[in-house]
Amino acid sequence: MIDLNSIPVAFRSKFFRSLLQDFLYFMPLQKTLFLIFLLLITGSSCQTDLSKNHSLSSLPIPGQKEKALDNKPLLAALESLRKDPSLKNGSLGYLVVDITAKNPVVVADYRSKWPMMPASTLKIFVTGAALDILGKEIIPEVTITNLMSVNWRSSKLLRKIGGKVYNTATTVGGVKAILDFWEERGVDTHGMFFYDGNGLSRRNAISPKQLVDALYAIRTSPSFHYFYESLPLAGLTGTLHKAMKGTAAEGRIHAKTGTISKVKSFAGYISTLSGRRLVFSLLVNDFDCRPKLMKKKLEAVLIKMAEIKKQDAGCRIQDKRSLRSRCWMLDDKRGMISKGGWLAEN
């Protein structure tokens, strides 16, 4: 007798079980062929489902952490930051994901799903959506907005988006439009709150994971190159032009910065010394020290990220002023495309 419990769940309905029993009873000679046919169908459908479920905008579940020994300096720096006395009455959240390989790996995660005050890293959601919704004519506006963190320009972009999508050029219309935009790209916007379009309000709320999800998802956009180049480059341009000079981070970190009273944040992309590619967000709220001191503490962590090594390292960046080097340009035969800098799967 055949154990019907071994049949895939999809075929265990009462009707099908009855049909299968009758079929096998009256046609015992075809039993083996029929079961082989079933296995072939279910096997191919499982493979198809796995392929369809693989989404570029979905990141690994926090907790699936990298175990490589060469991440220890970074993890130690993050542990030290968590225990910092200046954060005794404050809050810290971060998420670091290695996307060098086909399947992303969480390198470090701490309270990444907690909504926090993002300050100007909120602009990532506005400018990223603006490029796709408003088109190439908005590139100069997006570039100056991210590079120099111009608040009024970001608010203006948000209202423009609202006018374009819902014919309502207001903050409310813009917020609804960008939330829809990011949800369509796989970003979970639950708990996210936009009081303004620039990050100045302390009522804004975004989690570290939502920032990383957005940065990860936008890599598949045709306008990603313009978004990526609009982000300040450590030690060289924009709000990061004086930051981390002479360290491993110089020329290797493209990131949006954020600062308001008692809030400091960074979110962006890192190309490590060994060629690994990271997406990250790092936020602190309500810290008890001078802003410049907290900035230095967070930059120390970013430097450790840039220093991450791996034995099977990729190529190194040749020009610190641009990541448009050979190591970013992969062959189309490998199923990848590049718009200069970070790669997105085709």
149, part of any domain: yes
- d(Cα 337, Cα 220) in Å, to the nearest integer? 9
Total domain count, the chain: 2
62, part of any domain: no
Same domain? 121 vs 171: yes
300, part of any domain: yes
Same domain? 77 vs 32: no
Same domain? 36 vs 178: no
133, part of any domain: yes
Sequence-ordered list of residues with C-beta below 8 angstroms from that of 127, at least 6 positions apart, any chain? 142, 145, 146, 154, 157, 227, 230
Same domain? 143 vs 259: yes
Residues of the domain holding 42: 4-46
Same domain? 147 vs 287: yes
CATH number at residue 285: 3.40.710.10
The series of mean pLDDT values per 10 residues for the chain, 346 residues long, is 44 42 45 44 37 41 49 95 96 97 94 98 98 97 98 98 97 97 97 96 98 97 97 98 97 98 98 95 97 97 91 41 35 30 36
Given this model, what pLDDT does residue 344 score?
Answer: 40
Given this model, what pLDDT does residue 173 score?
Answer: 97
38, part of any domain: yes
Angle between helices 171-184 and 151-166 (to 10 degrees): 80
Do 342 and 224 contact (CB within 8 A), yes or no?
A: yes
Amino acid in position 260 = I
Same domain? 131 vs 204: yes
Same domain? 39 vs 137: no
Same domain? 146 vs 260: yes
Same domain? 41 vs 77: no
Same domain? 240 vs 203: yes
